[in-house]
A and B are shown apart, each in its own frame.
Chain A
Amino acid sequence: MITAFIHKFSSPKSFVNLTEKIYPFLIIFGVSMLIFGWAWGLFFAPQDAVQGNSYRIIFLHVPSVIFAELIYFFMAVCALMHLVWRVKLAAYLIKSAAPIGAMITFIGLFSGSIWGIPTWGTWWQWDARITSTLILFIMYLGILTLHGSFSNLEKADRLMSILVIIGVINIPIIKKSVDWWSTLHQPASISVSGSSSIDPSMLYPLFISVIGLGFTLIALGILTSRSYIFTREKNKRWVLEHV
């Protein structure tokens, strides 16, 4: 019953049809939110008392690090679906999400490094969270390399899913390692439940840019997954009719 349900709604054909319809809305909404959030953050939000103006990197840094982890979680869910219910679309989505994840992790690392120069006086620190984000980046590269090195694509899909699921253990370690090590990195200053240690005038633009970047990345994911689905299913009838 549940298998039939999943298979019905996870055919690549219906996925492409659905995403083609919602893509324009997603991209317009995402980019305009991003522009709004960044403009607010960069020009209107007040200066930070301690860090001066360099803190304005937060409006790029925090959203990208959030999505670096969220994309990996998304991939892990897809991997589970691929292994348990043999959903082909899930494997396609993992393969197309991985480069985006790698890119956004790189942006997160890069912006963090640059932020570190004026704030900490060093661009790199072997601190827990930075190190584990670097590990995350290496994991994305490993997943891509693994998938790229097998000519039998079905086999590559399955091996990649196993690797993604094993690697997801790494994410709690990212979270926990901050507590395990004494670290230089400021502890997460926003929590969902409790009160935040960040001023609302900085929190709102941050929140808006998180949402904006999220929708932009979903739109990007739709594009990459569409091209990958076409590549993989190029001999299927529905692709011929669709193109």
Chain B
Amino acid sequence: MFNLAFDNFNDILYMQGHGIYVWSVYLIGILMIATSFLIANKRIKAIQKKIKISNAPS
């Protein structure tokens, strides 16, 4: 079950001509998911900062 389906690294990238489709889809999918994690983290940081500032003892 765990036999590599490809002979070498170039084959993995090329995938008999289908590599461009497969890899572009995965690249964009991973980028979108990762970006939304980053944005969510950033938003939490921003709102925490805002709350702290607005409630800081002056």
Complex partner residue of A107 from B12, B21, B29, B54, CB under 8 angstroms = B29
A47, B5: Cβ atoms closer than 8 Å: yes
- Whether the pair B40, A223 counts as a contact (CB closer than 8 A) is yes
Q: B12 near A64 (CB under 8 angstroms)?
A: no
9-residue interface stretch from A4-12, A37-45, A138-146, A173-181? A37-45
Are A54 and B1 in touch, CB under 8 angstroms?
A: no
A115: which B residues are within 8 A, CB to CB?
21, 25
Closest A residue by C-beta to B55: A240
Supposing A53-B22, A60-B29 touch, asked if A243 and B51 sit within 8 A by C-beta, the answer is yes
Q: A45-B5, A54-B22, A234-B50 are in contact. Are A107 and B40 (CB under 8 A)?
A: no
- Contact check, A118 vs B33: say whether CB atoms are below 8 A apart: no
Contact bitstring A208-243, B, C-beta under 8 A = 1, else 0: 000000001000100110110011001000011001
Contact A60-B40, Cβ < 8 Å, known A43-B6, A107-B32, A234-B50: no
List of A residues within 8 angstroms of B21 by Cβ:
54, 57, 114-115, 117-118
Q: Which residues of the partner chain B approach A40 to less than 8 Å between Cβ atoms? A: 2
Residues of chain B contacted by A106 (CB below 8 angstroms): 32
Q: Indicate which residue in B18, B26, B33 contacts A54 across the interface (CB closer than 8 Å).
A: B18
Measured CA separation A47–B12 after assembly (Å): 12
Given contacts A44-B2, A226-B44, contact A234 B12 (CB under 8 A): no
Q: Contact size class for A?
A: 35 or more
* B44 engages A223 (CB within 8 Å): yes
Q: How far is the CA of A100 from the CA of B37 in the complex (A)?
A: 10
Using A52-B16, A234-B51 as known contacts, say yes or no to A227 and B44 having CB atoms under 8 A apart. Answer: yes
A103 touches B32 (CB 8 A): yes
B interface residues with partner A (beta carbon < 8 Å): 1-6, 12, 15-19, 21-22, 24-26, 28-29, 32-33, 36-37, 40-41, 43-44, 47-48, 50-52, 54-55
15 CB contacts below 8 A, A to B, read A43-B5, A52-B17, A53-B15, A54-B15, A54-B22, A57-B21, A57-B22, A110-B28, A118-B21, A201-B1, A224-B36, A224-B40, A226-B44, A230-B44, A240-B55
A residues whose Cβ falls under 8 Å from a Cβ of B: 38, 40, 42-47, 52-54, 56-57, 60-61, 64, 99-100, 103, 106-107, 110-111, 114-115, 117-118, 201, 216, 220, 223-224, 226-227, 230-231, 234, 239-240, 243
